[in-house]
Amino acid sequence: MGDVSALPLCALLFLACGIHAYSNFQSHLLTLPQNPVIEIGTNFTATCLISNTVEVTADDLYWKLSNVTIPRDQYRKVNSTALSVTVPITKDISEEWLFCYCRKKSSYVVLNEGKFIHGISLRTGYRPEKPENLSCISFQKEDKSFPSLQCSWGTTRRQTPTVPVHFTLKVMQVLSNQTSSTTTKDHWAEVKLSPYPFHMELEVWVEAVNQLGAAESVHLRKEAQHFVKTNPPEVTVTSEKSFPTSLLLNWTPPVNQVCVKLTYQIRFCSPKSPGWSHVPLPDINDQTNFRLQGLRAYTPYTVQVRCRDVENLHGYWSDWSQNITTTTPEDKPSSTPDLWRTVVYNGTSERLVQIICKDPEFPNGRITRFDVKVEKQRDRAWNQSGGWKSVLVNRSEAEEGETSLTLLEQISLSNLESVKVSVVAVNSLGRSPEASLILPVKLPDHARVEELKVWPHEGQLVVEWKPLRNKLLSGYVVEWLSDGRLDWRRVSKTSNRTLTGRLDPFVCYTVSVYPVFSRAIGKPVQMLAYVEQGAPLRGPTLKLNGKPGHNEAELVWEEIPLRDRRGFITNYTVFYKLGEEIREVPVPANSTSLKLESLMGDSQYEAWVQASTAAGSTNGSHHSFITMKYAAGTIEAISLGAGLVILLVFLLGIYKREFLVKRLWPRVPDGRQSSIGTWSPDCSMKAEPPKESCVSGISVLVSMCESQSGFEEDKASLSLRKDKYTSEEHSSGIGGSSCMSSPRQSVSDSDEGADMADTTASTVQYSSVVASSAYKGQTPGSQPQHSVFSRSESTQPLLDSEETVDMFVQEASGRFERLAPQDITCSEVFGPPDGEQLDCCQEADELQADGRTAPSSYMPQLGGYKPQ
């Protein structure tokens, strides 16, 4: 209970203290005016007043604008307790503060510093300007009402955010002095007016107001109906059969005529007209119907109507009404069909003539058929051969509106025949006037148009020529042909220029101008033309003419097909590229080949051709070729030289045969006839077939020499293993000993090293032991054994052929002499140089001659791995 009662007491005490503190905190300075709004461009004067203290005087005061001290010359001492300052306001300094400070530092001032500062915030801005260009409009709504008046105006927008301008749109009914208004910050506003006060005078104006002043626009004073913009009228168009060249328009005014008297504007167009045609305003006035006359029969017309207040010439036109399209009724054709022909001269005495025609300019309906009559001239009179012939026209509705050609007749005429063709177009209501064309025996070439010029203009071609002076001239026919599509236009004889009509861009047209005489058609003058040129669709396809030479190549290309050309080719540019270097050669448009010279021999070139038109260029496909290594004749010269050398060698071989044989195949002594042969106890002195033991030592040497010569197929394997042979590490310790070892025994292949634990990784020691008694034991043990221990440390793989060679040698040692001198180059492959090879053989000879070697038997030792 005590706590509850204490709370309000504390609150009251706190409030009392606060009030006391507030009353105690009374600033001794006061700046006037408070919250000023200052116009930019004026001087602002503020005054600082000292109150309730004698501690300071006006001399102790100073001013600061934000943080900048204002110079004293802008101060004015009003009295001892008031100091004013004048600040020129040249720009928007809104939200800046103007402070009045005291500079005296007495103890009272220092202790009560807050009481000796006073500031005001400044708001600067511009006076509102008079709103200009006030205009008002009242839009009609869907429900036909005019609920409001919208007005807009303009200003220079010179205002600041702190002093904004508010606009008030005021609309006053003059008679009643009743004013409606809307206030906005924008430059437009809307005032509700319900009901809309038709025929009552309204006064409209805008007031621009801010804290610095007000300005008013001019007052618009008009009757209310002059502000309206109505909806467009609702239009109906009626086509009446009895009036094929007119349409009846009726429309409903969008607003009651008693409210706003409207005037109307009508415009119409047909697909063939270039744009809208407007009916003159005085012809319509305030009627609500109108008959369009002088139209083309059987032509769709689109009609639009709009309206505005008739009494206000500067009133607002409504939008145009929606398109109403109605076709005028059908009528019989009122103009002749446009008759023309194409002639193909086939080089014989006959010509193929196609009679073609276009629908009449005024078909006034759907052309259902053409009636054609062909008459041949005999004795200066036209003889009708077959009467009128009907050509039915069957077109879809889509084709109906387009200009379409009809092939009427195809006649094969001799050059001596003259023909007159007559045509009539027929629709459902009647026949057109008759058109005729005379195809004379020979075209008169005495009169051709001259100075034909053709140039493009807005999607069409302008054709101009020098007019002919000929009494019989009845006009001209300008014909343009492209890609089998033909069209033409008849031009009167007084004209010398015409337009072709819209043509396709990038298509080449052959434009011809024919003079037409009363009884004949003259010879044409032709010219090619484009409405618009573009870069070729594709470039020329390049190829080589023949084979490229050592430093030249001839390039040829075909002309781009006309359809892909899309313009006149102005020139070609041939590009050829070697590596990264690209060179180009310009070629005139009439050329389709180029001989490139100064090329590098044995080089690959890439070439392409760029075709250019006035509108751009396109590259053709790339073609690569390689120039010859040798110029023509070089090969022949070399071949001839080589042939001569071979011939010389051959002749030398014939004449120096003995010498060469001696040099190449030195004589090897026959072991059987040597003294060691007779000495060996194991060897029979008889002429026995040689045993392997007897010749084994020699056969090794032979086989070494044979290893290459005899088995050429092993060259491949040799070459594959060449790296091993040439390895120094694997070279045999005893030259040529590899020949003596069996392949299986002597294989020291690192590939197999893992399996062969007993051997070193890179070296296999193998040997052939030639022992006279150790093998067969045929020689008594007392006999000192002479053995040759051939040891080889070679990793070189043993060729399969080696075994074969060994076997072969073993089997056919009798043929030794024949086999021995074969290939001198084997030593180059296997081991020592030629000399050594020869030494090797000599050593063998020597050994045999010394008799120290007694190879009683030769069994290839399996490298010591297999016991024998």
Partner 1 sequence: MIGLQFACEIEGRMNGHAKNMHLKKSMKSIATLLSFLLLMAVHSTRMVGASRNHPCRKTLQRTFKLAKVVQSEASELFIIYKASQGEGSEFLCTAPVNNIPDPNISGLEASERISSIYTHLQSFIPHLKRVYEQQTDLQLPTSPMLPKLLGVSANSRNLALSINDFYHRAFPNLPLPEPAGGPTTLPPPLNVFQQKVYGCMVLKTYKEFTSNVSKEFKSFRGKVCRRRMKTNALF
| Contact window for partner 1 (CB under 8 A) among 68-76, 232-240, 252-260, 589-597 | 252-260
Identify which range of 127-135, 190-198, 265-273, 559-567 contacts partner 1 by CB under 8 A: 190-198
Handedness of CA 662, 664, 665, 669 (dihedral sign): positive
Angle of the 692-709 helix axis to the 834-850 helix axis, nearest 10: 170
Instruction: Compare residues 223 and 532 and give the one whose CB is closer to partner 1.
Output: 223
Q: For residues 225 and 533, which CB has a smaller minimum distance to partner 1 in the complex?
A: 225
Told to check if 749 binds partner 1 by CB under 8 A, we report no
With beta carbons less than 8 A apart as the criterion, state whether 587 and 542 touch: no
200 binds partner 1 (CB under 8 A): yes
> What is the rounded CA–CA span in Å between residue 233 and residue 642?
107
Q: How far is the CB of 199 from partner 1 (least distance, A)?
A: 4
Closest to partner 1 by CB, 311 or 597: 311
Q: Is 195 in the site for partner 1 (CB under 8 A)?
A: yes
Q: Which one, 225 or 731, has the nearer CB to partner 1?
A: 225
Q: How far is the CB of 148 from partner 1 (least distance, A)?
A: 15
313 binds partner 1 (CB under 8 A): no
Distance CA 559, CA 566 (A): 13
Between β-strands 68-69 and 29-32, what pairing exists: parallel, antiparallel or unpaired?
unpaired
**Minimal distance, residue 259 CB to partner 1, in Å:** 6
* 75-79 vs 82-88, strand pairing mode: antiparallel
Kindly state the smallest distance separating residue 315's Cβ from partner 1, in Å.
Answer: 16
Whole-number Cα distances in Å, 31 to 6, 82, 119, 741? 43, 10, 6, 128
The packing angle between helices 800-811 and 692-709, to 10°, is 140
User: What is the closest distance, in whole angstroms, from the C-beta atom of residue 180 to partner 1 in the complex?
Assistant: 13
When binding is defined by CB under 8 A, the residue of 197, 539, 690, 743 that contacts partner 1 is 197
Smallest distance, partner 1 to C-beta of residue 92, A: 47
E strands present in 746-808: 765-770, 788-793
* Closer residue to partner 1 in complex, CB, 144/453: 144
Start-to-end CA distance of the chain, whole Å, equals 131
108 vs 198 by CB, closer to partner 1? 198
CA–CA dist 573, 586 (Å, integer):
4
Among 199, 389, 662, 715, binds partner 1 (CB under 8 A): 199
Where does this chain touch partner 1 (CB under 8 A) — which range of 27-35, 193-201, 242-250, 494-502? 193-201
Instruction: Supply the minimum distance, in Å, between the C-beta of residue 179 and partner 1.
Output: 15
Nearest approach, Cβ of 198 to partner 1 (angstroms)? 5
**What is the three-class DSSP state of 24?**
helix
Nearer to partner 1, 178 or 325 (CB): 178
Q: Is 175 in the site for partner 1 (CB under 8 A)?
A: yes
Q: Tell me the C-alpha distance between 857 and 491, whole Å.
A: 123
Which residue reads 């001087």 in tokens? 43
Instruction: Decide if residue 176 touches partner 1 (CB under 8 A).
Output: yes
DSSP string, 404-419: -EEEEEEEEEETT--E
The reply to whether omega before 33 is within 30° of 0 (cis) is: yes
CA 328 to chain centre: 49
Q: Which is nearer to partner 1, 315 or 860 (CB)?
A: 315
Q: How far is the CB of 189 from partner 1 (least distance, A)?
A: 22
* Eight-class DSSP state of 519: S
Q: Which amino acid is at 387?
A: G
Q: Which is nearer to partner 1, 176 or 590 (CB)?
A: 176
Supply 613's token pair.
């038109």
Please, which residue, 202 or 452, has the CB nearer to partner 1?
Answer: 202
**Residues contacting partner 1: total by CB under 8 A:** 14
Q: Among 56, 259, 305, 374, which residue sits at the site for partner 1 (rule: CB under 8 A)?
A: 259
**Spatial separation of the C-alpha atoms in residues 771 and 853, rounded to whole Å:** 9
Site string for partner 1, 687-706 (x = CB under 8 A): --------------------
Please identify, using beta-carbon distances, which residue of 198 and 317 lies nearer to partner 1.
Answer: 198
Q: What is the DSSP letter of 86?
A: E
Q: Check residue 256 for interaction with partner 1 (CB under 8 A).
A: yes
- Stretch binding partner 1 (CB under 8 A), from 26-34, 45-53, 199-207, 620-628: 199-207
**Minimum CB distance to partner 1 smaller for 256 or for 414:** 256
Shortest Å distance, C-beta 312 to partner 1: 14
CB nearer to partner 1: give 263 or 498: 263
Question: Is the Cβ–Cβ distance between 83 and 46 less than 8 Å?
Answer: no
> What is the rounded distance in angstroms from the CA atom of residue 616 to the CA atom of residue 375?
52
Of 66-74, 131-139, 256-264, 352-360, the segment contacting partner 1 by CB under 8 A is: 256-264
Q: How far is the CB of 192 from partner 1 (least distance, A)?
A: 13
Nearer to partner 1, 223 or 559 (CB): 223
Closest CA to 32 of 79, 83, 73: 83
Q: Which stretch binds partner 1 (CB under 8 A): 196-204, 323-331, 532-540, 600-608?
A: 196-204
Neighbours of 279 (CB within 10 A): 17
CB atoms within 10 A of CB 512: 19
How many secondary structure helices (H) and strands (E) does the chain include?
15, 52
Q: Which two tokens stand for residue 153?
A: 């105006």
Pairing of strands 228-229, 132-139: parallel
Q: How far is the C-alpha of 248 from the C-alpha of 293, rounded, in Å?
A: 9
Contacting residue, 258, 398, 654, 687, with partner 1 by CB under 8 A: 258
Closest CB to partner 1 among 147 and 456?
147
User: What distance in Å separates the CA atoms of residue 805 and residue 460, rounded to the nearest whole number?
Assistant: 95
Q: Minimum distance from CB of 223 to partner 1 (Å)?
A: 7
Q: Print the binding letters for residues 145-174 with partner 1: x by CB under 8 A, - otherwise.
A: ----------------------------x-
Among the residue ranges 79-87, 88-96, 255-263, 500-508, the one whose residues contact partner 1 (CB under 8 A): 255-263
Q: Does 568 sit near partner 1 (CB under 8 A)?
A: no
Cβ proximity to partner 1, 168 vs 173, nearer residue: 173
Residue from the set 198, 317, 568, 575 that interacts with partner 1 by CB under 8 A: 198
The region of 64-72, 84-92, 133-141, 197-205 touching partner 1 under the rule CB under 8 A is 197-205
Task: Say whether 217 sits in a helix, a strand or coil.
Answer: coil
For residues 49 and 259, which CB has a smaller minimum distance to partner 1 in the complex? 259
55, 203, 223, 559: residue in contact with partner 1 (rule CB under 8 A): 223
Q: How far is the CB of 253 from partner 1 (least distance, A)?
A: 13
Is residue 252 within the footprint of partner 1 (CB under 8 A)?
no
Distances in whole angstroms, Cα of residue 842 to Cα of each of 60, 664, 709, 710, 741: 137, 15, 20, 21, 20
**Contacts (Cβ under 8 Å, ≥6 apart) of 429:** 330, 331, 332, 364, 365
Least distance to partner 1, CB of residue 194, Å: 8
Nearer to partner 1, 10 or 258 (CB): 258
Instruction: Provide long-range contacts, Cβ within 8 A and 24+ apart, for 746-752.
Output: 746/792, 746/794, 746/798, 746/863, 747/797, 747/798, 748/794, 748/795, 748/796, 748/797, 749/724, 749/795, 749/797, 750/724, 750/795
508 by DSSP, 3-state: which? strand
Distance of closest approach, residue 265 Cβ to partner 1, in angstroms: 23
Positive or negative: CA dihedral 153, 157, 163, 164: positive
Instruction: List residues near partner 1 by CB under 8 A.
Output: 173, 175-176, 194-195, 197-201, 223, 256, 258-259
